[in-house]
Amino acid sequence: GFSQVGAESGWRTANTDSIKGEAAKRGIELKFADAQQQQENQIKAIRAFIAQGVDVIAFSPKVETGWEPVLKEVKAAGIPVVLTDRAVTVSDPSLYVTFIGSDCVEEGRRAGAWLAKKTGGKAVIAELVGTSGSSPAIDRKKGFAEVLAKNPGMKIVKSQSGDFTRAGGKQVMEAFLKSPDAKQLTALFAHNDDMALGAIQAIEEAGLKPGKDIVIVSIDGVKGAFEAMVAGKLNCTVECNPQIGPQLFDLIEKVAAGQKVPERVAVEEGVFDETQAKAELPNRKY
Ligand code: AHR
């Protein structure tokens, strides 16, 4: 049984395709539930998986907290849990077997380091935060803040959640740009590409040039971000690889067979900026 967060971004769609595709390739019966961005729906789906007697439950938790009761029910039913993409905070680490996903603190650090280099350590930054309480939003903010702590000329003056969606990114950026002190903004850090793409629209509608008047760095590495870089509207994307189906099912098969697996499995990722975008665009699969 797999409980997906929703379909909030290009990243998520690619992640779902990778998981469904890999299950089909291996002949694994996958019970897939889309929670439409609601934690309650994920909890309901997990309970349904218990009732159906699945062999393994995997899920990408919308937020970090609130999982302990349902995970205790899964444990009592003797079903192993594999977390994917997003982490949970629980007092009992035996409530899940393993976690496979990106190092989102490192992604935040990479975004910050790129911006520091690009701006010579001087930037007045607006931040579009991902879904409140989700591990990538918490971790990316943390990694980025580590870089700011070493660069006193860089500061975040506006920060708000755009919920990892394009519409959310556009709406929040519009509000940022309408504020009396908007003129001081020189940079944007968006926790994902979809929010950056929404913000680009807002910046253009405000009569400014995204990628020039406001330097933009975001995270994910979706095709749309590469197209925006080629068009000179986005400056850098830090890769967060959604195509983890093969690695996920390697783990699931081992867990189902009762084999020992590492507590955490990382995903390999890179950083791409405007100078590499044109050459890399044909290689992007999502
Ligand atoms: O959890 C991964 C994040 O969720 C991706 O960066 C974002 O695009 C998605 O919605």
Q: What is the pLDDT along the chain (286 residues), one digit of tens a residue?
A: 999 999 999 999 999 999 999 999 999 999 999 999 999 999 999 999 999 999 999 999 999 999 999 999 999 999 999 999 999 999 999 999 999 999 999 999 999 999 999 999 999 999 999 999 999 999 999 999 999 999 999 999 999 999 999 999 999 999 999 999 999 999 999 999 999 999 999 999 999 999 999 999 999 999 999 999 999 999 999 999 999 999 999 999 999 999 999 999 999 899 999 999 999 999 999 9
Rounded to the nearest whole angstrom, what is the distance from the C-alpha of residue 195 to the centroid of ligand 1? 10
Rounded to the nearest whole angstrom, what is the distance from the C-alpha of residue 208 to the centroid of ligand 1? 27
Report yes or no on whether pTM surpasses 0.75.
Answer: yes
Rounded to the nearest whole angstrom, what is the distance from the C-alpha of residue 244 to the centroid of ligand 1? 13
- Please count the other Cβ atoms lying within 10 Å of the Cβ belonging to residue 67: 24
Distance CA 60, CA 245 (A): 13
Rounded to the nearest whole angstrom, what is the distance from the C-alpha of residue 219 to the centroid of ligand 1? 9
What atom of ligand 1 comes closest to residue 86's alpha carbon?
1
- Give pLDDT, residue 268: 83
Q: Is 195 within 8 Å of 164 (Cβ atoms)? A: yes
Using most ligand atoms within 8 A of CB, pick from 42, 129, 163, 220 the residue to mutate for ligand 1.
220
Using most ligand atoms within 8 A of CB, pick from 4, 8, 11 the residue to mutate for ligand 1.
11
Rounded to the nearest whole angstrom, what is the distance from the C-alpha of residue 258 to the centroid of ligand 1? 30
**What are the C-alpha distances in Å from 188 to residues 20, 144, 160, 257?**
34, 12, 12, 46
What tens digit of pLDDT does each residue of 24-74 get?
Answer: 999 999 999 999 999 999 999 999 999 999 999 999 999 999 999 999 999
Nearest CA among 232, 222, 235 for reference residue 193? 222
> From the CB of 127, is ligand 1 less than 6 Å away?
no
Dihedral, CA of residue 241, residue 243, residue 246 and residue 248, to nearest 10 = 70
Distance CA 18, CA 131 (A): 22
